[in-house]
Amino acid sequence: MDLTSPLEQTPPASSAEETIAAIATPPGPGGIGIIRISGPLSLSILQRIFMPRQKKSAEVYESHRMYYGWIIDPANSLPIDEVLAVFMRAPNTYTREDVVEIQCHGSFLVLQEILNIITACDARLAEPGEFTKRAFLNGRLDLTQAEAVLELIEARTTVGRTMAIGQLQGRLYERISAIQERLVAIRAVIEVAIDFPEDETDIIDSPTLQKQLRAELEEPLEELIARADEGKIFREGISAVILGRPNVGKSSLLNTLLEEDRALVTHIPGTTRDTIEEFVNIKGMPVRIVDTAGIRHTSETVEEMGIQRARAKLADADLVLFMLDATEPLTEEDQELYRSIKQHRKKQKVLLVLNKIDVTDGVSPDKYRIGLGNEELVAVSAKLQTNIPELKEKIFSLITGPRKGRGWDPGAAVVPNVRHKDALKKALEACYRVLQGMDVNISPDLLAIDIQSALDHLGDIVGETTPEDVLDMIFERFCIGK
């Protein structure tokens, strides 16, 4: 990966002086465990605790070369584990500091003992995300790239991974940087007018500048904001609740979508007593499917608790898969339940799923739709997996909405989170104020203030003007060791 960076920042003194260490692999037994060390003492710590098989290797460690040997406890000279170790010299490292990585056996006991030895050699335990934070502070990554590391780790689908890779490659930074460059160019014109007020009308060609603002700032910002919700859907996914009367086939649908027997299925109504949640990949979109207890009037305490949980999940759902039984006509219970959905409905979309069409003859879906608000409907057989691809396609289209001919490129620049979207909106509002100000010929000083405001908000996205407390909040989301 290219180690150059669009940002060159001077790290704080603590970052340059302290050496940090952490276990970089997930907890639990495994074939290999990795411990990472970063900072000025990395090499000296390696020399104190590592005994290479070839003794002469300890004299000069070649950067980025793997060495085989043993970790030795300096306190008693006892061997801890047989390992591979690599020393990587700054600045060609993840953090742009001297870095050591030790590959040992994946026993938590071994990993912890080696980490204890390292911290006894004047290193300290790393904080969550501190390696990536140092990469950002040392100019190795801009803030959008640093956040992409977490997006990549947490990606649930190939599309989510592709989006994170695009952001890690700097595609969002490039879009933001291009907008910043145009703002700086326009600000330069405004500042000349401030310095030479007698020539202000000749310097500021408002129609030309307004045209530039709309084409080079307003339109790109609006496009990024428009794609923000799409990016959120493919990164974070949605919640889809399967709701309906008992024994309409909710658990069968869950099992079919997951392609495994995750939920118990019987002919006895009320089998599902609690919510069951699993993720399923629908055309690259992570969908958390929630199977719920059948909603009906009951005096059975445990079943009633499950029904209450089902109603609670409904309130947080993005999509309701409202299941109906094709072997029965629309019942008063169905209509009552649909009315309760509409009563709580805020952001939720509703898709009617008419199940058990394999045991009916010529059922007409329209009579169910007409009785339930003419919602979209898909007729399926969860048991025989009939029309399941059509169901997935309908779920996808309902959530993503009409694309208006615009293709979806998961590798393109996409705004990854609410913080970025909010900053883009504020930058766009500042651009609107500049356009409006030019219409009424306001003072160049006021125009310059709004242009700088837009630059500051864009700087928050890439990390140039991001407050320290926001940086802390971002990197606290990372795991220790990354």
The DSSP code sequence of 269-296 is TT---S-EEEEEEETTEEEEEEE-PPP-
Work out the widest C-alpha separation in the chain, in whole angstroms: 87
Domain boundaries, the chain: 13-141, 162-233+412-462, 241-385
What pLDDT sits at residue 344?
64
Higher pLDDT, 352 or 272: 352
Strands 65-72 and 238-244 come out as unpaired
Average pLDDT over residues 186-192: 85
Q: What is the CATH number of domain 241-385?
A: 3.40.50.300
What is the distance between the alpha carbons of residues 299 and 169, in angstroms, rounded to a whole number?
A: 58
Q: How far is CA 412 from CA 154, 167, 396, 421, in A?
A: 19, 8, 20, 16
The band of 306, judged by pLDDT with boundaries at 50, 70 and 90, is low
Region 12-26 average pLDDT: 78
Q: 222: which residues sit within 8 A by CB, 6+ positions away? A: 428
Residues 282-303 have pLDDT tens digits of: 888 888 888 875 554 444 544 4
Does the pLDDT value for residue 90 go beyond 50? yes
**pLDDT given for residue 207 in this prediction:** 80
Amino acid letter, 463: G
* 50, β-bridge pairs: 71
Count CB-CB contacts under 10 A for residue 207.
8
State the Cα–Cα distance between residues 238 and 279, nearest whole angstrom.
Answer: 9
pLDDT score, position 87: 96
Concatenated DSSP letters for 290-342?
A: EE-PPP-----HHHHHHHHHHHHHHHH-SEEEEEEETTSPPPHHHHHHHHHHH
- Please name the residues in contact with 42: beta carbons below 8 A apart, sequence gap of 6 or more: 19, 87, 97, 98, 99, 100
User: 244 forms bridges with which residues in the sheet?
Assistant: 323
- Would you state the pLDDT for residue 410? 56
DSSP state of 127: P
Range in 109-118, 369-378, 396-405 the model is least confident about = 396-405
76 has pLDDT over 90: yes
For the chain, the first-to-last Cα distance in angstroms comes to: 17
DSSP 353: E
CA distance 118 to 124: 8
What is the band of 4 on the pLDDT scale with cuts at 50, 70, 90?
very low
Q: Smallest Cα–Cα separation from 382: which of 374, 392, 373? A: 392
Check residue 218 and report its DSSP letter. Answer: I
How far is CA 69 from its chain centroid? Answer: 39
Mean pLDDT of 1-7: 42
Task: State residue 261's pLDDT score.
Answer: 58
Residue-level pLDDT at 7: 45
Confidence of residue 106 (pLDDT cuts 50, 70, 90): very high
Strands 319-325 and 238-244: parallel
Count CB neighbours of 338 within 10 A: 22
**Band of pLDDT at residue 60, cut at 50, 70 and 90:** confident
Backbone region of residue 350 per phi and psi (left: phi > 0; alpha: psi in -120 to 50; beta: other values)? beta
Higher pLDDT, 202 or 418: 418
Q: Which CATH architecture has domain 162-233+412-462?
A: Up-down Bundle (1.20)
Q: If you count them, how many residues does the chain have?
A: 482
**Per-residue pLDDT at 423:** 94
pLDDT value, residue 56 = 64
The CA distances from residue 132 to 33, 45, 94, 471, in Å, are: 19, 21, 8, 11
Q: What percent of the chain has pLDDT over 90?
A: 38
Alpha-carbon gap, residue 139 to 463, rounded angstroms: 10
Contacts (Cβ under 8 Å, ≥6 apart) of 472: none
Q: Provide the token pair at 449.
A: 């203030």
Token code pair at residue 140: 């190795």
**Other CB atoms within 10 Å distance of the CB of residue 260:** 10
CA distance linking residue 457 with residue 326, whole number of Å: 54
Mean of the per-residue pLDDT values for the chain? 82
H or E stretch at 423:
helix 418-439
Please identify, in words, the CATH class of the domain defined by 13-141: alpha beta
Secondary structure of residue 446 in the 3-state scheme = helix
Given a cut of 80, is residue 406 above it in pLDDT?
no
Q: Which of 160, 325, 165 is nearest to 236 (CA)?
A: 160
Q: pLDDT, tens digit, for every residue of 308-363?
A: 665 666 777 888 899 899 888 888 888 888 887 777 666 678 899 999 998 887 67
Is 289 in contact with 242 (CB distance < 8 Å)?
yes
- Mean pLDDT across 112-122: 96
**Higher pLDDT among residues 402 and 130, named by residue:** 130
Q: Cis check for the bond before 91: say yes or no (omega within 30 of 0).
A: yes
Q: What is the pLDDT of residue 274?
A: 47
Q: How far is CA 168 from the centre of its chain?
A: 12
